Amino acid sequence: MSPPGRAVDMSSDISVLRRRTNALAHTTIDRYVEASGLYTPETVPEHLYRDSLHTIRRFMDTALLALGDPGLDVPEILRDELARANDRAAEGVPLRNFLHCWQIGADTLIEAVEEQLGEPSRSAPVVVQIRATYDAVIREAISAYERTSRDTITARAGWSSRWIAHFFDGAVSPHDDYPGEVPEDPVVVLIHIGVTVAETTGSDQVRTIAGTRKVRRTRALLQRHLGERLWLADVREQSARLITSSVPSELATAVEKLQELHSVPVAAAVAQAERPEDLRRAAQEASEVLEVAVQINRTGCVTSLADVALEHHLAHHSMSLAVLQRRCAPVRANEELLETLNVYFKTDLDRRQTSEALHVHPNTIDNRLAKIRQLTGLDSRHLPDLMILAVGVKYAVP
């Protein structure tokens, strides 16, 4: 804090500097635009040379006034400017960019002070006071920014959650009702996230904080890996419902990273919608696939219906049947192979009894089973493949 006499001695210098704050604020914005690398002369947002310039000018003027009145509550005086500045948080401006503009403003003012006061013995104490004022303002700015960011994220999450619910319920038409661009081939991704230790220990407050932190970290990881392909996202403590514009190549990596991040099992199911209006069916498919994946402990990877068609069929007599039938289509299209396989099942996989029932040599049965393996990739000697063949050909028999 400067002695009272010093403030009086510098009153004329402070007046000169206050008259320069408009030009200094312009210099600040010019430097910020140049240093950020975010803009071209044609793409500089209007708010920079309007709202942001006004905020920086007010900060400089108030910081100079505080030199003569150390008890001045600068953050309180700048409350309205800080509130307007936090509109940038709602617009998604990164915190580092937000702070960079403030830092350039403080540096620009300090340069002007040093130039105006000349000797370091006069300017050094003033610079210290300006930096203290800057620190107080920036602490309040960061706090307000973070509050705004949290509120914005919460609002966006709620908005996404409502639209996802509408699409999955089939309550609205994506093209007719959604206020924005709709992917032509949307993909439904459902994720199950295990319960962390932190979510089950400690007080209610500790568990709540752990859950909130888990949601925030999950959302950030998904956004980082899926990027622009992530259309809508509803993230909760133990689940995530996503709609992407296509099947993201990074989805499998994201699931692996989620499992590492939280140190709990993470299962994910994916289903392609043929068109936006098909989201309800795709959501139902993904839900059933995820249920199977969790039941059989298929975690750390992305699961589609084709991956668990047999298991799904055993639990759901529905969509998976068509998948299994397509897999076994070459057998179902060949009367000789189909008959051989059905008799093979009826004789409890006894090749000799099968050959006797069909009046052929046992080696012929071996050759036909080998032909089935060649056509379908399913080996009747392996139990999982045998089960797929059993289900896949059953419905071809009258």
Answer yes or no: is pLDDT of 6 > 60: no
Residues 16 and 117 in one domain: yes
Q: What is the DSSP code string of 149-210?
A: HHHHHHHHHHHHHHHHHHHHHT-S-HHHH-SS---SS-EEEEEEEPPPGGGTSS-HHHHHHH
In which domain, by residue range, is 115 found?
Answer: 10-151
Higher pLDDT, 96 or 346: 346
Residues 117 and 44 in one domain: yes
Residues 80 and 135 in one domain: yes
Q: How far apart are CA 324 and CA 306, in angstroms?
A: 8
pLDDT for the residue numbered 42: 75
Answer yes or no: is pLDDT of 395 > 60: no
Number of domains comprising the chain: 3
Residues 119 and 247 in one domain: no
Read off the amino acid at residue 154. T
pLDDT for the residue numbered 379: 93
Range of lowest pLDDT (58-62, 224-228, 366-370): 224-228
Residues 297 and 351 in one domain: no
pLDDT for the residue numbered 9: 63
Residues 65 and 123 in one domain: yes
What value does the mean pLDDT take over residues 3-31?
82
Smallest Cα–Cα separation from 215: which of 229, 200, 196, 201?
196
Answer yes or no: is pLDDT of 280 > 90: yes
Higher pLDDT, 37 or 396: 37
Residue-wise pLDDT tens digits, 152-177: 555 566 778 888 988 898 877 776 77
Residues 310 and 346 in one domain: no
Residues 193 and 307 in one domain: yes
Residues 204 and 263 in one domain: yes
Any idea what the CATH number is for the domain that residue 358 is in? 1.10.10.2840
Residues 193 and 220 in one domain: yes
Residues 208 and 254 in one domain: yes
